[in-house]
Amino acid sequence: MSGTQTAMLLFIVMTSTAILFIPGLTALTAKQNSWLEILGAGILTFGILIILAKLAQRFPGLTIAEYLPLILGKIGGKALAVSYILFFIVLNILVVRETSEFLTVSALFGTPGIPINLVFVLICWYSAQKGIEVIARMNQFILPLFVFAYLMACILAIPKADPNSLLPILEDGISPVMQNIWIPVQWYGEIAVLLMLIPLMNKPQEVLKKASYAVISTMLLLTFGSLVVLTVLGADVAGQMIFPIWFTVKTIEYGNYIQRIELLVLPLWLTGIMVKSSLLFYVTILAARQSVGRKHPKLIAASVMVIVFSGAAFLVPNTMALLELLTKYWPYISLLFEAVLPLLLLAITLIRKKKGGCMQ
């Protein structure tokens, strides 16, 4: 897998569901300054990226599931590897559930979430079975369409924008912006899939450079989308909506010529989310095979699929519970696996001078 393919995968992982939730969740507390919160979260992500890259560079050719036992010993390493597998599983459960919630609101009105979850999971799980090269190449085709659809929708909404909705800037200081900055960081931090992807790169030494491109592009896209939502809907309205970007797109209308543009945008956005879920299935199954055992690969893959579907169907009972999880609990759980634990692991390797599985 090339560095460019890796960057494109990271970009779709960070943006595909973030464009739906971040504008509303950040506007709820940061109001008209929520775009600054999104920008600040992106800047913090560079710290996470450096930690992930430095840790992986000390164990070239190995995934985190493979080098954890080298750092913490067999028992401790296996235990933490299983924890990361569970983290990837729960992350995918949230992606599936977020998708079904979005489809229920946007297109499949009144359709029960379980059949939506089942179809979505089966498609993404099947894609994951084809391997990382297939996922990467599929993303190379989908990503330009995904970005085009998003930018086109935002640009067409600009004539309805009121720049005064962004004022006053930082009226109450920086505190409201920093108060819940970990909410957008949870989406940026999904770049932690690098812990499983770096060994699959043709030139892993390029990871910091290529991943930086992905983070910068994500910052620009999410910030632009937030600015459009804030200026079209206003911070108060956006903060009360689950999917403000979707309702912003629905306001687009140019006479009798351009209407219902959301019908064009929806399938392109959905395919981007499918790539993200497929990649999460792939890294989860790969980590499970490397940690639990390679004797029954089909059983492991099937088990992961069943767990993700069951979790998406029953773990989060309703929309309000999902939003509460995304705002109160998951930001800190995800930060633990995306930044805190990698930082501690890097510190241990530096203190013990452990590199490539051998004491230096």
Residues with Cβ within 8 Å of residue 194, at least 6 apart in sequence: 6, 10, 49, 52, 53, 56, 207, 211
Q: What's phi and psi for 119, nearest 5 deg?
A: -65, -45
Task: Please report the pLDDT score of residue 354 as a whole number.
Answer: 65
Q: What CA–CA distance (Å, rounded) separates 13 from 222?
A: 13
Nearest by Cα to 87 from 340, 314, 320, 345: 340
Q: State the pLDDT at residue 290.
A: 94
pLDDT of residue 360: 38
The confidence score (pLDDT) of residue 356 equals: 65
- Note the pLDDT of residue 107: 81
pLDDT at site 358: 41
- Comparing CA positions, the residue from 315, 334, 336 lying closest to residue 326 is 334
- Domains, the chain: 3-359 (1.20.1740.10)
Q: How far is CA 278 from the centre of its chain?
A: 12
Name 130's Cβ contacts closer than 8 Å, sequence gap at least 6: none
pLDDT of amino acid 359: 37
pLDDT score at 47:
96
DSSP-derived 3-state class of residue 358: strand
The neighbouring-strand residues paired with 258 are 254
Give me the pLDDT at residue 355, please.
66
Tens digits of residue pLDDT in 158-177: 999 999 999 999 988 898 88
Predicted pLDDT at 256: 72
Q: Which residues of the chain have pLDDT under 70?
A: 255, 354-360
Name the CA dihedral angle for 200, 203, 207, 210, rounded to a multiple of 10 degrees.
Answer: -110
List all residues 6 or more positions away from 326 whose beta carbon is below 8 Å from its beta carbon: 21, 25, 94, 183, 186
